[in-house]
Amino acid sequence: MKGTDIVVKGLSKSYNSVNGEESLEVLDDIHLHIKQGEFISILGPSGCGKSTLLNILAGFESGDNGVATCCKEKIEGVSTQRAVVFQSPVLFPWLSVRKNVMFGLKQKKMDDGVRQKIVDKYLKAVGISKFENYYPGQLSGGMQQRVALARVLVLDPNILLMDEPFAALDAQSRLSMQELLLNLWQKHKPTVIFVTHDVEEALFLSDKIFIMSKRPGRIKEEIEVTFRRPRNISIIGTPEFSELKKHILSTLMDMC
């Protein structure tokens, strides 16, 4: 079922230290409202809790106070409707590209022919059909990340949670993956929550950017990104893009 507004109210999170004598406050009083189909980026200093927030939205862990809901239901545990793409592709090295992409569908009750057609569709969508019989170790980092993206898209998730998925790629591969992600999002319109340290990446991709403060992470600013869609790299050179980038960088620098 579609309809995937995510609402976070008063969320906080702390971790106990190794000796258990003190706690590390990571998130403090987080409030968010992310509408269905929006592309959201989260920026902030290292260690401000961006990945922790994403993990809570994924259902990997829970907050100490406050609540995070999806479709008006409290997020408790993982769901195939909230798919996660990590910075590392996390593929099974002993499985071929096709079998990696197929893996999640094995848990669903459907005819094998239907599964194969779904896999074919997304192998083509991410541009790796010719590599379906290769193994992850035979692929570049960018190609591996395409496999990881296809592996979650075959599950038809309502929400994509992406934790710096392109950070390890070279500039050309990164731009290629950004354009691929935008095209897939434009076609299928999942809700995307994208953690990044790259201001240009956030501006290029997003409808809205949340800037978090240094630890304990709070939402310092919410920025609407109003550049027309569909977008291409030409917007990066516009005065409007440069001004917004300058503002965000200044905000981040003030927190250093």
Domains of the chain (ranges; CATH) run 1-81+197-256 (3.40.50.300)
Confidence at residue 3, expressed as pLDDT on a 0 to 100 scale: 60
| Confidence band of 20 (pLDDT split at 50, 70, 90) | low
Buried b (16+ CB within 10 A) or exposed e, 88-115: ebebeeeebbbebbbebbeeeeeeeeee
The per-residue pLDDT for 21 is 67
Kindly report the CA angle at 126 between 83 and 187, in degrees rounded to 5?
70
Q: Mean of the pLDDT values across residues 67-87? A: 91
3-state secondary structure the chain: CCCCCEEEEEEEEEEECCCCCCEEEEEEEEEEEECCCCEEEEECCCCCCHHHHHHHHHCCCCCCEEEEEECCEECCCCCCCEEEECCCCCCCCCCCHHHHHHHHHHHCCCCHHHHHHHHHHHHHHCCCHHHCCCCHHHCCHHHHHHHHHHHHHCCCCCEEEEECCCCCCCHHHHHHHHHHHHHHHHHHCCEEEEECCCHHHHHHHCCEEEEECCCCECEEEEEECCCCCCCCHHHHHCHHHHHHHHHHHHHHHCCC
pTM score > 0.85 for this model? Answer: yes
102 token code pair: 């197929």
> Tens digit of pLDDT for each residue in 209-238?
999 999 999 999 999 999 999 988 899 989
